[in-house]
Amino acid sequence: MSERAAASAHQFDDAEQQHDASTLGMWVFLVTEIMFFAGMFTVYVAYRSLYPDGFAHASHHLDVLLGTINTTVLITSSLTMALAVHAAQLGRRRPLLIFLVLTMALGSTFLVIKGFEYAHKFREGLVPGPWFSYHGADAGAQQLFLSIYFAMTGVHAAHMVIGLGVLGTLVWQARRGRYGKSYYTPVELSGLYWHFVDIVWIFLFPLLYLIGRHT
Amino acid sequence: MESTQPRVHYLNADYGIRSWLFTVDHKRIALLYLGSITVMFLLGGVFAGLIRLELLTPAGDLVEADTYNKLFTMHGIVMIFFFLIPSIPAVLGNFLIPMMIGARDLAFPRLNLLSWYIYIIGALFTLWAMLIGGVDTGWTFYTPFSTMASNTNVIPTALGIFITGFSSILTGLNFIVTIHRMRAPGLTWFRLPLFVWAHYATSLIMILGTPVVAITILLVGLERAFHLGIFDPALGGDPLLFQHLFWFYSHPAVYIMILPGMGVISEVIACFSRKAIFGYSFVAISSLAIALLGFLVWAHHMFVTGMSVYAAMIFSFLSFAVAIPSAVKVFNWTATLYEGSVSFQAPMLYALGFIGLFTIGGLTGLFLATLGLDVHVTDTYFVVAHFHYIMVGGAIMSYLGGMHFWWPKITGRMYPEAWAKIAAVIVFLGFNLTFFPQFVLGYLGMPRRYHVYPAEFQVLNVMSTAGASILGIGYLLPLVYFIWSLRYGAVATANPWHATGLEWETPSPPPTENFERTPIVTQDAYAYDTQEVQVV
């Protein structure tokens, strides 16, 4: 693609067509992401309907406080991301950089807290497999729950790491003055991705942490 | 007609290995795919040849049972994930979609190149898994065998398929955005060539289905590597859940393989009948209908697993329903032939072969969708014959037909017509001799995936193996004369078939930017009745 910010690539007629195509491309990509997570949500639904009690019991192994903090952290990061997009649209470079870095900081905080949660599970012997140390009546269902927990939060965390890489690239490009009022598509589309990863967590949090807590 | 001065086109615009490995030209990327899938096709063909050789005699005298398991697994994996799924979309679709819609390139050229590299990385992982001992789970990776029992290289193979899936997803994404946003002025949706409609429907399946198999394969890998117990029956996990997730993609994947072929057939039939496709809009919409209904029939692969009878009845009904849009296409193609000025060039021979073989494959699919009959023929050679009629008789015939049809456009050279006709006939005869006996074998009760069988099945197996040898020759012939034609073939004009379509309005081979100026479309696709030229 051309180095000049506003110029369109050779296959497009103009910058508007390029912006439209990129935006549609991102939405299509997010559809594939939804299908990717949908596979795991299907597994979750199937097993939770088979083993409602085992799932509710296993859910108590998770730390609601840390989960809640992480939810707050992530929602806040979506706010800063939205503000970054807004700053990009107005062509204000300094606020753009500040909000991007803030978003990265919040995203990293989420991952660090998640890391502590994982470490705690390892110490308690709650990682599925040969070292699984819980031997209650519904140990099988609980292991299924924790398998799903690690698979879903693990894949989600991988998406966060990719998102941090994307944001890092944006910071680097923004520092070079790549974005302005007339060209901010990458910031906008990365924002879409970031919000998507955020929304996945909004589903994961109640489904994993809050089952059986209403009693 | 053709000028003798050297003209700059996409093949001679730039030379050297770097100009190919770093190209973002959709036409060159199509040729990169052509080279790689041809290698994979030959590899998968060698596996098929070994399978047929083993089955020449009732005893297991060529390979051990374990080796045989690996052979049919790797045949399936290579042919499905690394040949059939990318074949028409990544080669012909990549080359033609931008040209057919009057665009200079796909919407995301660099993403297109990335797709090819992802495909190559996935292929290398899978080849590596084969070199270090192969895998024996069948291409279906059924749990718990794949997660707990198999001692073969499941993880590297699964990783290869997982990675290659992203190539497919990104290609589908690129096609969808391109078709939505890059059409030439005047090219409305219902003026699009049916090839483009077929690829649009295919792309929808690619982006909606492939992520599901990706996550499923990933879960199998996690279960093997880290002992997560998602499909583990010992914990109360359900191996059937794996099958549901797997077939949710892998049945629609059949339509990823056949829909682009149907697009090719529509172009070829119209051209060599000199007529507009009968019922254009029905054929266009039937592609979308196949894509939609194709997502609702997956459990017909699981009728004998002990799933709910009521669910089985619904899936049986829906499987019958998907035959309707398929039949719409077949009837409309034959109606197009009716009173057309039909000529029998090699692409047309493949197209006519496709219609016959796809019809047999489709109708035997209805046998399998019938609950009572399916019990009798499940996991027999009847199923093997059925899907090879669709995949080999359908998808590969249309791929070859398309390659012949657009070869002049791609290379600027004509292939030798006489040899091509001979090859088409050999492929048709060899194919039927290979796979028709398998219908009989399966109906008589010969199970699939066994390397020994009772002596009474030998005659039919010998026929099948003999047919496979003929089929192999039929496939090698085009490989030879296509390469030959690059140097010795007659120079092709811009439109040797006098076909309609924007791709024929630009020189052969096309310039890098496809068109000297963006074309403006003023009429429907297949306006053959306005042309008086007769193809000779």
Q: Which residues of A touch B215 (CB under 8 A)?
A: 36-37, 39-40, 155
B58 or A128: which leads in pLDDT: B58
B520 touches chain A (CB under 8 A): no
Q: A7: pLDDT confidence band, cut at 50, 70 and 90?
A: low
d(CA B485, CA B411): 9
Residue of B26, B115, B212, B515 to mutate when probing chain A, most A C-beta within 10 A: B212
**pLDDT at position A205:** 97
Confidence label for B1 from pLDDT (cuts 50, 70 and 90): very low
Domain assignment present for residue B442? The answer is: yes
Backbone dihedral angles phi then psi of residue B491, each to the nearest 5 degrees: -70, 130
- Is residue B364 a contact partner of residue B421, using CB atoms and an 8 Å limit? no
Assign B5 a pLDDT band (cuts: 50, 70, 90). Answer: low
pLDDT value of position A9 = 79
Do B485 and B390 touch, CB atoms closer than 8 A?
no
More confident residue, B420 or B529: B420
Query: A93-124 vs A64-89: helix axis angle to the nearest 10?
Result: 160
Structural domain contains residue B418: yes
* CB contact (8 A) between residue A39 and residue B110: no
Check residue A3 and give its pLDDT: 38
Report the distance separating Cα B190 and Cα B227, nearest Å: 52
What single-letter DSSP state applies at residue B92? I
pLDDT of residue B46: 97
Q: Which chain A residues are closer than 8 Å to B219 by Cβ?
A: 39-40, 43, 151
Residue A9 lies in a domain: no
Query: Does residue A40 lie in a domain region?
Result: yes
In A, which residues are within 8 Å of B218 by CB distance? 155
B224 close contact with A: CB closer than 8 A: no
Residue in chain A closest to B169 (alpha carbons) equals: A32
The residue type of B158 is A
8 Å CB contact between B126 and B217: no
Contact A42 B245 (CB under 8 A): yes
pLDDT at B532 over 70: no
With the C-alpha atoms ordered A46, A47, A52, A58, is the resulting torsion angle positive or negative?
Answer: negative
Least confident of A3-12, A124-133, B18-27, B441-450: A3-12
Domain membership of residue B244 as a residue range: 23-528
**Looking at the DSSP assignment, which residues form a beta bridge with residue B413?**
B491
Report the alpha-carbon distance of residue B484 to residue B193 in Å, rounded. Answer: 31
Mutate one of A20, A27, A32, A126 to test the B interface: name it (highest B CB count within 10 A): A32
For chain A, give the percent of residues with pLDDT over 70: 96
| Domain around A21 | 15-209
Q: pLDDT at residue B173 above 60?
A: yes
From the number of C-beta atoms within 10 Å of its C-beta (0-12, 13-18, 19+), residue B475 rates as buried
Instruction: Give domain status of residue A176, yes or no.
Output: yes
Predicted pLDDT at B529: 72
Name the closest residue on chain A to residue B241, using Cα atoms: A43
Query: For chain B, first and last CA: distance in Å?
Result: 17
CB nearest to B107's CB, from A25, A36, A148: A25
In angstroms, rounded to a whole number, what is the distance separating the alpha carbons of residues A198 and A160? 9
B469-488 pLDDT, tens digit per residue, is 999 999 999 999 999 999 99
Residue numbers in B near A31 (CB within 8 A): 207-208
CA dist B239 and B233 (Å) reads 7
Residue with tokens 């003026």: B191
Tell if the CB–CB gap between B108 and A21 is shorter than 8 Å: yes
User: Can you tell me the distance from the alpha carbon of A104 to that of B287, in angstroms, rounded to the nearest whole number?
Assistant: 44
Q: What does the mean pLDDT of chain B come to?
A: 94
The encoded tokens of residue B262 equal 């149907």
CA A154 – CA A101 distance, rounded (Å): 24
Q: Does residue B5 fall inside a structural domain?
A: no
Give the three-state DSSP class for A70.
Answer: helix
Place of tokens 């609702």: B296
Please count the structural domains in chain A.
1
Residues B123-155 have pLDDT tens digits of: 999 999 999 999 999 999 999 999 888 888 999
Overall average pLDDT of the B190-217 stretch:
97
Count of the separate structural domains present in chain B: 1
Say whether residue B211 is in contact with chain A using an 8 A CB cutoff.
yes
Coil, strand, or helix at residue B380? strand
* pLDDT over 90 percentage in chain B: 92
Q: Can you tell me the distance from the alpha carbon of A122 to that of B385, in angstroms, rounded to the nearest whole number? A: 50
Q: In this predicted structure, what is the pLDDT of residue A32? A: 97
Query: Distance between CA atoms of B60 and B139, rounded to whole angstroms?
Result: 22
Residue B354 domain-assigned (yes or no)? yes
Q: What is the pLDDT of residue A2?
A: 37
In which residue are the tokens 């399966």 written? B442
Interatomic CA distance for residues B332 and B50, integer angstroms: 39
| Structure confidence at residue B536 (pLDDT) | 46
Burial of B531 (0-12, 13-18, 19+ CB in 10 A): exposed
User: Tell me: the pLDDT tens digits for A118-128?
Assistant: 999 999 999 88
Note if the bond before A95 is cis, omega within 30 degrees.
no
CB of B513 less than 8 A from some CB of A: yes
**Interface touch A36/B215, C-beta < 8 Å:** yes
B531 pLDDT tier (thresholds 50, 70, 90): low
pLDDT tens per residue, range A167-206 = 999 999 999 999 999 999 999 999 999 999 999 999 999 9
Kindly list the distances between the CA atom of residue B438 and the CA atoms of A10, A132, A160, B131, B398, in Å, as whole numbers in the listed order. 52, 49, 51, 30, 22
Residue B8 counted as domain residue: no
Q: Is the residue at A97 inside a domain?
A: yes
Q: What is the pLDDT of residues A56-113, one digit of tens each?
A: 999 999 999 999 999 999 999 999 999 999 999 999 999 999 999 999 999 999 999 9
Which residue among B174, B212, B228 places its CB closest to the CB of A38? B212
Q: Can you give the length of chain B in residues? A: 536
The tens digit of pLDDT for each residue in B315-355 reads 999 999 999 999 999 999 999 999 999 999 999 999 999 99
Is the confidence at residue A148, as pLDDT, over 80? yes
* A6 pLDDT above the threshold of 70: no
Mean pLDDT of B492-508: 95
Taking the C-alpha atoms of residue B242 and residue B158, their distance in angstroms, rounded to an integer, is 14
Residues 6+ apart with CB under 8 A from B240: B302, B305, B306, B307
What CATH number is attached to the domain comprising B178?
1.20.210.10
Q: What's the pLDDT score for residue A5?
A: 41
pLDDT digits (tens, 9 = 90+) for B377-399: 999 999 999 999 999 999 999 99
Mutate to test the interface with B, among A1, A20, A28, A50 (most CBs of B within 10 A): A28
Q: From B513, which residue of chain A is nearest by alpha-carbon distance? A: A11
CB atoms within 10 A of CB B171: 31
Q: Kindly list the residues from chain A whose CB atom is less than 8 angstroms away from the CB atom of residue B247.
A: none
% chain B with pLDDT above 70: 98
Place of tokens 């660090």: A112
In a domain, B533, yes or no: no
Q: What is the CATH number of the domain that holds A169?
A: 1.20.120.80
Report which of B502, B428, B458 is spatially closest to residue B99, judged by C-alpha positions.
B502
Distance from CA of A104 to the nearest CA of B (A): 26
Q: How far is B387 from chain A (nearest CA, A)?
A: 26
**Are B58 and B454 in contact, with CB atoms under 8 Å apart?**
yes
Answer for the pair B54, B451: CB distance below 8 angstroms, yes or no. Answer: yes
CA distances (Å), A138 to each of A122, A135, A142, B228, B403, in order? 20, 8, 6, 16, 59
Contact residues, B window 44-103, toward A, CB-based 8 Å cutoff: 98, 103
pLDDT in tens, A175-186: 999 999 999 999
SS3 at position B500: coil
pLDDT for B413: 96
Domain-embedded: residue B413? yes
d(CA B429, CA B303): 33
Mutate to test the interface with A, among B179, B230, B307 (most CBs of A within 10 A): B230
Query: Does the N-terminal peptide bond of residue B510 adopt cis geometry, omega within 30 degrees of 0?
Result: no
The beta-carbon neighbor of B226 closest among A43, A50, A129 is A129
